[in-house]
């Protein structure tokens, strides 16, 4: 098991042991920087994901052309654009509880 006596365990920071590690899909938000994406007249927002692997977090946003919703699938090939933004973050020793 993992315990404080294991040297590999002691080398990991609290950020690297985050319970948020994994792949997540956003299902709801009040974040204005995300909500404004839906105001674009040319594309609608599809799925939004976060891939968390400390110290890296990658946000992935799928965009779909709006015209695709108004035409039969037989006339328009399914298309999608994907935006990815990767960020690195490290815990600060003076803020251990955050």
Task: Report the pLDDT value the prediction gives residue 68, as an integer from 0 to 100.
Answer: 82
CB-CB contact of 56 with 84 (8 Å): no
What's the confidence (pLDDT) of residue 95?
Answer: 61
Residue 9 has pLDDT above 70, yes or no: no
In this model, does residue 87 exceed pLDDT 60?
yes
**Residue in 53, 47, 52, 37 with CA at minimum distance from that of residue 80:** 47
Q: Is 62 exposed, middle or buried (0-12, 13-18, 19+ CB in 10 A)?
A: middle
Return all residues near 98 (Cβ < 8 A) that are at least 6 apart: 91, 92
- State the residue for tokens 């037989």: 74
What pTM was estimated for this model as a whole? 0.66
Q: Which pLDDT tens digit goes with each residue over 34-66?
A: 889 889 898 989 999 999 998 899 999 999 888
């Amino acid at each position: 098991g993992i315990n404080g006596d294991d040297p590999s365990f002691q080398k990991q920071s609290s950020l690297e042991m985050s319970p948020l590690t994994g792949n997540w899909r956003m299902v709801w938000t009040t974040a204005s920087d995300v909500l404004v994406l839906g105001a674009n007249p040319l594309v609608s927002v599809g799925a939004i994901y976060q891939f968390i692997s400390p110290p890296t977090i990658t946000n992935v946003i799928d965009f779909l052309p709006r015209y695709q919703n108004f035409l039969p699938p037989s006339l328009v090939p399914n298309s999608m654009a994907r935006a990815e933004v990767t960020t690195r973050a490290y815990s600060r020793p003076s803020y251990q509880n955050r």
